[in-house]
Chains A and B, each alone.
Chain A
């Protein structure tokens, strides 16, 4: 018996020391791939918050971007989910559909919620519930390689401003040089829904119950891109490569234009300094409506949290004007709070490319919207895959554009009906 106690006691001591309560309320806060780059920033704001709130302990956990959903699901299954999690607004409809997210309206006063950009807060609102606080934002700009343009006999004036100009430019550039002008994911993670939105072509009705992207206008607009692909004006793999690869061919010096977020400028600078030197910036390419996409990163509070008020207060602290402005100065991102966006940092041009990218994006930000309305549906992933596959089928000649879109519309209506 003594021997048994001899083995058990040290284990018991270790267990007790691990589970020793500090008497503080612990808030677990997950971010997406921000460590180690922003460690100092987070440590600083967390230390400050803890000093001001002696009863609160913040447990900051950084998760790789691609793993967040799996980690979140497994933490819920294991019964230890975080209180706050940084999510892309694209995922909110899914988690909101699962009733996993708390409503900030019940936790924070309107006076605080009104501080955020209306278009950003709109992206976080589902069924009249604010399911997340908007955090850092991004929008789209056009990067172009002045050297490649010069070699092809183009000037700055020829840089396209609209999608119809872009299609003409892509053809002309390839005809002149034999090279691709542009890489755009039209199949997997297709940007075509964004383009349709900007052209003012709705993919589905307001109540998200009926798809409509097989209208003559939609078919003709999409067919322009299918023709570009079939006739060899777009890289072969642009129908299967995921959206995250959009920058690759530009920074490899293989294409002259890239349509992406200003945040990628730093990556071009690090990975391809020669391309960076020749890079210039123009506002986002748009369709007939002139609208462009807003990308929102936000902080959601899980319904399972046992400290909702404390967690909501901390989420507000992280997203307040002062902290967001500080964060934005560390990367080319934009704040979701009106006051922070008014800061001269987003208007003063110091002549650098970064400043130009920052100002170009900031000017667009208040008018950027969610162009892909289907993201509001909890089964947006099924809808997205169905649309993507229809584009792949059309591009590979398995069916005409009209047939492919007709089939996808049938699939969409079936999915949308499920959730009516």
Chain B
């Protein structure tokens, strides 16, 4: 047992935190109010080498381990970078680029990874459909082999980055009767005939990421764009779970640290009845609960990351614990932060308001809390 970070990891976290606070966080409020993806923020993330963080250096990445990736997400959230920008970063880096790196051919890696790592291209991943969320194996998007091409038909929804993406890793079935065994992954480039994206959705939170539907109408994808083999899609999608339960959660934990810092400052400065509100136990309770949440959630998130770094198989119980706890209780804590700020917390000008809207996504995206409980209870009942 050893819970220490290496000096390199600590230094990296500090650097990213300072950079996020000085360079990125000041841009977030405006972008959030507009509800728009910010290319300026994207550029900043790229300049710091964050867009290719886990990818190897020879392909333009930074070669970071999973713990370091989590530290970056946590540091940026802590610095006050909004959930949407970090979601855009996460979807691009972990769901698109990492999948291409892990399952792609040498040619695919060479073509996509350097451009994704530099941020020149923006990536996204398409799994969810209007009719299939948690039950992804029932997807309807089809891929039919025709000569040296696959013809894709169907639509995807809630695709983070889709309106701005240059590359999508998309899942389609080559045979619906085979259910999950028929699911196959493809890399599709923007501009491919038959590929189009819908209007950006208006979202409740994580507004600096842009999200839309994706349509495939007799979209011809060359067979060299197959990611992995036919029928490998399900395994590829599941491999994303490790990222979902660690690196993609870490920004939310970081946002909770940011929320706690804001609340602690406010509780010291805000006076009512001739004393700072920190003296009221009702306020203290919320502060303490936030701190406990942060410690527990960090342990859960970094456990998933550490086991991936150590080459261990994903423990689905541990992964689910990380997701369900950080998601559900993180949202509760973001609500308590608004409560400490009272009326001010209800105003856009105060970041706890944005945190509250952003936090809700953690219990929905990448497997809802209900699905996490289903996974845990099924395993328990099997043992």
> Is B one of A's binding partners?
no
Partner-A contacts on B (CB < 8 A) = none
